[in-house]
Amino acid sequence: MTELEQTNNVIETEITEKNPNMIEVNERKHKEDNFDRMNKDIQPKAKDGYEYKFGKNGWRQTKIITEEEKQAKGQQLKQAKQLKAQAAQQQDQSQDQIETIKDLQKQLKQISEQLFTKQQDKEEVKQPIKIMKTKKQREVRVIDPRVNSILQNLGYSQIKIEEYSD
């Protein structure tokens, strides 16, 4: 016996002297594990749903996987791949939508600048805006209805649209 085995035996005897029931537990454990893990010829008994396979570290207990479980796992993997593909597609669509929104915003800005410059040109030629100041409120008469929102933002409360007559 090596020194390690001797020390293990001494420790076991000390434990078993203190607790005599420990002997039975140790004996049962040794009977259950009474196989050499590195001996390929002796296959241990397996529990239900498990099997033993021999590998580089000796016998190893593994769970038995049925065909149904394999198919279910395969379907889960397929669904996961489909969900990833859908997520990527939705992300691409959202990026496209963001780009189109930005383009539309640029176009809207250009159109509003064009309208504003056209409006300034009309003001110079026809003087389309007449501002009348009263005590209670300011009244504005506008020819072009597209200018309403701009004037409301400037603080004019009442805006009347009328045809311009020279």
Collapsing DSSP states into helix, strand and coil, what is residue 109?
Answer: helix
pLDDT at 166 over 50: no
pLDDT at 159 over 70: no
* Residue 40 CB contacts under 8 Å (≥ 6 apart), including other chains: 54
Tokens of 120: 């300034």
Pairing between strand 138-142 and 158-161? parallel
Q: What pLDDT, on the 0 to 100 scale, is given for residue 84? A: 94
* pTM for the whole structure: 0.32
Q: What pLDDT, on the 0 to 100 scale, is given for residue 162? A: 53
Question: What does the mean pLDDT of the chain come to?
Answer: 70
Domain ranges within the chain, ordered by starting residue = 3-49, 65-122, 127-166
Residue 142 CB neighbour total at 10 angstroms: 20
- pLDDT tens digit sequence for 51-93: 877 777 777 778 888 888 889 999 999 999 999 999 999 988 8
- String of DSSP letters for 5-19: HHHHHHHHHHHHHH-
| Percentage, residues of the chain above pLDDT 70 | 45
Q: What pLDDT, on the 0 to 100 scale, is given for residue 46? A: 72
pLDDT at 98 over 80: yes
